[in-house]
Amino acid sequence: MRPFNFIKTENVSQALSQKKETAQFIAGGTNLIDLMKKNIAQPDTLLDITSSLSNKIEKKSKGIEIGAMVRNTAVALDETVLSQHPLVSKAILAGASPQIRNMASTAGNLLQRTRCPYFYDVTTPCNKRKPGSGCSAITGENRMNAIVGYNEQCVAVHPSDLCIALAALDAEVNFISKNQKQGSIDFKNFHKLPESTPQKDHTLPENSLITSVSINENHFNKNFAYVKVRDRDSYAFALVSVAAALHLKDNKIVEARLASGGVAHKPWRWYEAEKFLKNKEPNAKNFAEAATIATKDLKPLSHNSFKVSMLKGAIETALQDCIKV
């Protein structure tokens, strides 16, 4: 680990004015410090933003706004989140450990880096860590890697649980840029595919600060489920995960939402399956058909074809769980 300066910023203006290419913001530090220990991230300055950003969850006219510094545990246990967007709470509680969730911030969770083993092994080629060096996972140990939404540049998967629920609920990410302009990005456009820039995971403008995440009111607080399949029951990232939510009326699905983690470079929405479910009855046959539609065109790598049937089962289970709630 290289020596670095540490500056505790007091407010957003100070944090943005101190931000330069070689500096990095630090929130809970649960991902960044690991990256620094392994010399993957080498900032010369850490800008502590824990006192500069909101740690409150606020009700707004259209829904709720979760401050960037609200810790994962606080989001998961918040009464408004539990009553209006319980899927978010379920997803968070499926991740990490209580200690990590106590430290991890909302914004930091969105920006955590992939868990591809080669990304963390600095002795191997990795386009995400060192652009142009190659991708070791394509022909290597790719059991945990993608089955959709990848290219020859990078086959890594998005690691977060929270983000899968936020993707399903069409959340928005609010930010303030270096020149103090405020903006927001639809969640579906926040994380990106590898394209020709696999080193970039998201579309947040350079040197910007995430200030909050908004979730609009919706009808997905009664019939929802989060299914995470992993090697261990705790403290493990998803092999595949599924966030499912149904808006039901008169035994018909008015609208369905289905998103997955552990399958693609970004949280992945199964739009075709969602469309199929619209106006159908919520029953086992339709759930099985939706899972078949979602998994029909997947392209597993050499060591992860098991993920296809695993995902199919996870989608069916999640949809079934939605009507058990």
Q: Which residues sit at the interface with ligand FAD, rule CB under 6 A?
A: 24-32, 34, 49, 53, 68, 95-96, 100, 103-105, 107-109, 111-112, 159-162, 209-210, 235, 237
Quick one: which segment of 55-63, 88-96, 124-132, 236-244 binds ligand SF4 (CB under 6 A)? 124-132
Residues touching ligand SF4, count (CB under 6 A): 15
Question: Tokens 């086959």 belong to which residue?
Answer: 155
- Least distance from C-beta 235 to ligand FAD, angstroms? 6
Residue 8: CB minimum distance to ligand FAD, A:
14
CA–CA separation, 117 vs 126, rounded Å?
10
Using DSSP's 3-state secondary structure scheme, residue 297 falls into coil
Which residue bears the tokens 């990590």?
A: 100
318 contributes a contact to ligand SF4 by CB under 6 A: no
Encoded one letter per residue, x for contact with ligand SF4 by CB under 6 A and - for no contact, window 187-226 reads: -----------x----------------------------
Report the partner that residue 126 touches, choosing among ligand FAD, ligand SF4, none (CB closer than 5 to 8 A by kind).
ligand SF4
Per partner kind, with CB cut-offs from 5 to 8 A, the member of ligand SF4, ligand FAD, none near residue 214 is: none
Q: Which does 155 bind (CB under 5 to 8 A by kind): ligand SF4, ligand FAD, none?
A: ligand SF4
CB atoms within 10 A of CB 217: 14
Phi, psi for residue 19 in degrees, rounded to 5: -75, 125
Q: How far is the CB of 120 from ligand SF4 (least distance, A)?
A: 9
Per CB under 6 A, 135 contacts ligand SF4: yes
Length of the chain: 325
Cα 9 versus chain centre, distance? 26
Q: How many CB atoms lie within 10 A of CB 138?
A: 18
Which of 254, 217, 224, 255 minimizes the C-alpha distance to 242? 224
CA distances from 217 to 62, 75, 191, 221, 252 (A): 6, 16, 22, 9, 20
Residue numbers of the site for ligand SF4 (CB under 6 A)?
A: 114, 116, 118-119, 126-128, 135-137, 145, 154-156, 198
